[in-house]
């Protein structure tokens, strides 16, 4: 099979839905041998925050494929926005476990399977570089992801492994559409069409980016097209300042 990723083994965590599914689909069209990890409906059922499950999943990948060439550490949770005085610390621990510990565990168990080098793409956010009211938890996790990426790029570069992060802005995934609709139904947010029109208006392009565009950016970072890039955050946000 031809394509930018032909002959390469790619692992996508959180690959059963949302951005992970879009990335997995795009990689398949480029010839990658694809393995998805997710809680369900994936090639490997795995709680990415549980090291025993992650270790076992990558052991099975090694048995079937022999190696990993590309890791997309995408699995993550988006918590409710909460003011600091209303933080739920159990929620805090669970979101950090998935968004941050999950990235670290994915790297820990994928890197030994990358003896000939490769590429890692971690799912950051525009919130990896900024902050917003009510988003302390999510922002903290995405800052942490970028910190892991920057450290890993320095550590793994001599082994031929590039490590970068994606920084999507608002993307109209099913999850985001559901959150917007729920807020509208609860009377604490505008109607979905009003909310998305406002998001579009904030961008210089006049629209928010799409799942397909995030997947295209992931392909760029995973392929030889970005062979000279490591330790960076690539924003996919319609040009938000």
The whole-model pTM stands at 0.93
pLDDT at residue number 59: 98
Whole-number Å distance between alpha carbons of 21 and 38: 10
Strands of 23-179, DSSP E: 33-38, 44-45, 70-73, 118-123, 161-168
Q: What is the pLDDT of residue 190?
A: 87
Query: What per-residue confidence (pLDDT) applies to 1?
Result: 63
**According to the model, what pLDDT value does residue 155 have?**
98
Within the chain, which residues score under 70 in pLDDT? Answer: 1
pLDDT for position 195:
86
> How many helices (H) does the chain have, and how many strands (E)?
8, 7
Residue 87 CA from chain centroid, whole number: 24
Nearest Cα to 72, choosing from 14, 143, 145? 14
Domain boundaries, the chain: 9-170+209-236, 172-208
How much is the pLDDT for 178? 80
- Whether 215 sits among the annotated catalytic residues: the reply is no
Active-site annotation holder among 138, 145, 170, 217? 138
Q: Which long-range contacts (CB under 8 A, 24 or more apart) does 151-156 make?
A: 152/107, 152/120, 153/230, 153/231, 154/231, 156/111, 156/120
Looking at domain 9-170+209-236, its CATH architecture is 3-Layer(aba) Sandwich (3.40)
The label of the residue with tokens 């839905």 reads: 17
């Amino acid at each position: 099979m031809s394509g930018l990723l032909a002959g390469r083994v790619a692992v996508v965590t959180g690959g059963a839905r949302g951005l992970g599914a879009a990335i997995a689909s795009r990689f398949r069209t480029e010839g990658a041998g694809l393995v998805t990890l997710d809680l369900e409906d994936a090639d490997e059922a795995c709680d990415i925050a549980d090291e025993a499950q992650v270790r076992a999943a990558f052991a099975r990948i090694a048995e079937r494929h022999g190696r990993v060439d590309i890791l997309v550490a995408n699995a993550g949770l988006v918590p409710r926005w909460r003011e600091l005085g209303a933080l739920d610390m159990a929620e805090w621990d669970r979101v950090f476990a998935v968004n941050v510990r999950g990235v670290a565990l994915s790297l820990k168990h994928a890197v030994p399977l990358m003896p000939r080098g490769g590429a890692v793409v971690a799912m950051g956010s525009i919130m990896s570089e900024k902050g917003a009211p009510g988003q302390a938890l999510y922002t903290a996790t995405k800052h942490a992801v970028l910190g892991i990426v920057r450290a890993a790029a320095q550590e793994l570069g001599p082994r031929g492994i590039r490590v970068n992060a994606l920084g999507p802005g608002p993307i109209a995934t099913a999850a985001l559409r559901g959150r917007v609709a729920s807020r509208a139904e609860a009377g604490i947010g505008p109607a979905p069409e009003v909310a998305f029109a406002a998001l579009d208006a904030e961008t210089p392009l006049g629209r928010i980016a799409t799942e397909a565009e995030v997947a295209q950016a992931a392909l760029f970072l995973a392929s030889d097209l970005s062979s000279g890039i490591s330790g960076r955050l690539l924003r996919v946000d319609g040009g938000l300042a």
